[in-house]
């Protein structure tokens, strides 16, 4: 890392934007998007952890599914960061800041069984879904229809993934327990 430092924009400052969204309104949207960004990275890392550690009869299917989900979450995070930068904000980028600003709590470092892991993912997704809904309403009320549409798209994707996890957690399965004890 170089020793010369030139700060072009302070992390919590809001710059003018070419979108003609008033600075006060932009600041509210930027705060919401940075919260969503932080939540996305917490979920991303938890999903990735589960992708690495999944075992059992459904290993491959769940492993592939979790990769698809964390890739979607990572893509959403990138769009959130780019949008809030377009609005004149600075996306949270350090792991410390992302962890501090996230509204969701990740599970611990331990490895859990797949049912517990997926239940934890579903719980976190539910919290993020609720936050997205609030932020969709916020963007709409402030006249930022492009952010509203982007958030609706991300909301639809995460709702679909949550629905699939809900199916994984159902009690109907082709896998039977071993008769040996």
175 assigned to some structural domain: no
Tens-place pLDDT, residues 15-33: 888 899 999 999 999 999 9
Question: Distance between CA 134 and CA 177 in Å, rounded?
Answer: 43
**CB burial readout 31-68, b (16+ within 10 A) else e:** bbbbbbbbbbbbbbbbbbbbbeebeeeeeeebbebbee
Q: Look up the CATH number of the domain holding residue 44.
A: 1.20.1260.10
Residue 181 has pLDDT above 70, yes or no: no
- Give the least confident one: 4-18, 60-74, 126-140: 4-18
Q: In terms of DSSP H, where are the helices of the chain?
A: 23-53, 59-86, 95-101, 114-141, 145-168
pLDDT of residue 140: 98
177 assigned to some structural domain: no
Supply the pTM of this predicted model: 0.90
67 assigned to some structural domain: yes
**Mean pLDDT, rounded, for 106-121:** 95
12 assigned to some structural domain: no
Tens-place pLDDT, residues 120-152: 999 999 999 999 999 999 999 999 999 999 999
Count of domains in the chain? 1
Domain coverage including residue 99: 23-103+118-168
pLDDT of residue 10: 76
Q: Which two tokens stand for residue 127?
A: 């919290």
163 assigned to some structural domain: yes
pLDDT of residue 8: 79
């Amino acid at each position: 890392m170089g020793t010369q430092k030139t700060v072009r924009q302070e992390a919590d400052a809001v710059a003018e934007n070419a979108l003609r969204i008033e600075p006060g309104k932009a600041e509210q949207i930027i705060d919401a998007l940075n919260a969503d960004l932080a939540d996305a990275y917490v979920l991303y890392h938890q999903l990735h952890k589960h992708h690495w550690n999944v075992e059992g009869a459904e290993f491959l299917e769940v492993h592939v599914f979790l990769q698809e989900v964390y890739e979607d979450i990572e893509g959403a995070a990138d769009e959130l960061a780019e949008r809030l930068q377009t609005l004149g904000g600075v996306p949270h980028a350090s792991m410390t800041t992302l962890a501090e600003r996230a509204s969701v709590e990740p599970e611990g470092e331990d490895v859990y069984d797949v049912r517990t892991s997926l239940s934890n993912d579903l719980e976190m997704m539910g919290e993020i879904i609720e936050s997205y809904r609030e932020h969709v309403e916020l963007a709409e009320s402030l006249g930022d229809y492009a952010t509203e549409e982007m958030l609706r798209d991300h909301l639809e994707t995460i709702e679909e993934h949550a629905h699939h996890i809900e199916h994984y957690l159902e009690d109907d399965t082709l896998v039977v327990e071993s008769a040996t004890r």
